[in-house]
């Protein structure tokens, strides 16, 4: 039964990874913007959730506040920083890296260095008996949320006018602009939604993995690994990458904890040698 437990653990972890990496990858696909402050957004979402859930006792309020606050932060970042360096990917990466350091360090200053945990509401707390495996109910909920998000995002991208615009932007931004779409506004919108998503995910993740300094870089690097496996810009790729990495993390921590990171990163580096754009990456 340990195998089943490990696999279920891995899959729920995959759910969290997908929640974190989906916004990251869609944003890259659309604007070629790699937001390395994504992890810091997540961490701030976690801390805001921690404070709000602690004060109000409502998990939902925590999620809402975190989503709105991080969306505003994302909007400010996009308008004040990103627009100044658009079209220069290296400058963008360095800029977001700098922002990530500032936000991560300020979180440490405001909230201290002690690891914290966001309380899971009773409704989805406790554990569940599943084919003889006792498993925390909350993690299964998290997995379900991730699946719902995947379906919703996929439907938006494939089945709606907005999604068609985003996909057109991915393929040929210049042509789309020429046809009368304000691509800057579209990008800002996607960026804000992606920020709100990662802010809310911060709360969900904070109830799963806890909240601690350095959590921003941990989650960022995992998201990076997920999207480079799947291919930057590909939603399906992010889903595949999440499942692979989630399972690797879970199996790795049981069977070879000392080499956990080696088990995670070595296949990625190897894969990129043979498929430089990941499994389903968009061509340049």
**Residue 94 makes contact with other proteins by CB under 8 A:** yes
Give the C-alpha distances (Å, rounded to integers) separating 29 from 150, 178, 187, 194, 227.
Answer: 16, 19, 10, 12, 11
**Segment near other proteins (CB under 8 A); pick from 103-111, 115-123, 147-155, 242-250:** 103-111
Q: How far apart are CA 168 and CA 91, in angstroms?
A: 25
Shortest spacing between CB 122 and other proteins, in angstroms:
36
**Residue 282 makes contact with other proteins by CB under 8 A:** no
**Segment near other proteins (CB under 8 A); pick from 79-87, 156-164, 171-179, 242-250:** 79-87
Binder of other proteins out of 176, 203, 207, 225 (CB under 8 A) = 225
**Residue 244 makes contact with other proteins by CB under 8 A:** no
**Residue 129 makes contact with other proteins by CB under 8 A:** no
Shortest spacing between CB 70 and other proteins, in angstroms:
18
Question: Which structure tokens are listed for 34?
Answer: 């790699």
Binder of other proteins out of 122, 129, 174, 258 (CB under 8 A) = 258
**Residue 232 makes contact with other proteins by CB under 8 A:** yes
Shortest spacing between CB 132 and other proteins, in angstroms:
32
Shortest spacing between CB 60 and other proteins, in angstroms:
32
**Residue 93 makes contact with other proteins by CB under 8 A:** yes
* Residue 126, phi-psi category: left (phi > 0), alpha (psi -120 to 50), beta (remainder): left
Q: How far apart are CA 218 and CA 197, in angstroms?
A: 18
Give the C-alpha distances (Å, rounded to integers) separating 154 from 15, 21, 85, 141.
Answer: 15, 14, 30, 20
* DSSP β-bridge partners for residue 84: none
Tell me the three state secondary structure of residue 211: strand
**Residue 95 makes contact with other proteins by CB under 8 A:** yes
- Binding mask 13-52 toward other proteins (x if CB under 8 A, else -) reads -------------------x-x------------------
Q: How far apart are CA 82 and CA 30, in angstroms?
A: 14
* DSSP β-bridge partners for residue 224: none
* Core vs surface per residue 125-161: b (16+ CB within 10 A) or e: eeeeeeeebebbebbbbbbebbeebbeebeebbeeee
Which residues of this protein are in contact with other proteins, per CB under 8 A? Answer: 32, 34, 81, 84-85, 89-91, 93-95, 97-106, 109, 217, 221, 224-225, 228, 232, 257-262, 264-266, 268-270, 272-273, 276-277, 284
């Amino acid at each position: 039964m340990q195998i089943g437990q490990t696999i279920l653990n891995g899959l729920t972890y995959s759910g969290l990874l997908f929640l974190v990496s989906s916004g990251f990858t869609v944003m890259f696909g659309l604007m070629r913007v790699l937001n390395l402050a994504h992890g810091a957004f997540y961490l701030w979402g976690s801390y805001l959730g921690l404070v709000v859930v602690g004060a109000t006792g409502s998990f939902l309020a925590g999620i809402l506040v975190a989503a709105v606050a991080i969306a505003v932060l994302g909007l400010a970042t996009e308008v004040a920083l990103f627009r100044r360096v658009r079209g220069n990917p290296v400058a963008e990466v360095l800029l977001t890296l700098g922002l990530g350091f500032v936000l991560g360090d300020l979180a440490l200053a405001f909230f201290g260095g002690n690891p914290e945990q966001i309380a899971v509401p009773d409704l989805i707390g406790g554990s569940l008996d599943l084919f003889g495996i006792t498993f925390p109910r909350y993690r299964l909920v998290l997995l379900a949320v991730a699946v719902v998000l995947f379906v919703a995002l996929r439907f938006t991208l494939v089945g709606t006018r907005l999604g068609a615009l985003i996909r057109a932007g991915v393929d040929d931004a210049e042509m789309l602009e020429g046809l009368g779409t304000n691509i800057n506004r579209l990008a800002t919108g996607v960026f804000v939604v992606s920020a709100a998503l990662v802010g809310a995910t911060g709360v969900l993740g904070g109830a799963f993995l806890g909240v601690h300094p350095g959590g921003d870089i941990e989650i960022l690097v995992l998201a990076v690994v997920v999207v480079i496996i799947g291919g930057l810009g590909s939603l399906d790729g992010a889903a595949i990458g999440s499942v692979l990495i989630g399972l690797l993390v879970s199996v790795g921590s049981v069977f070879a904890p000392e080499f956990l990171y080696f088990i995670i990163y070595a296949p990625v580096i190897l894969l990129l040698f043979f498929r430089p754009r990941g499994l389903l990456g968009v061509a340049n």
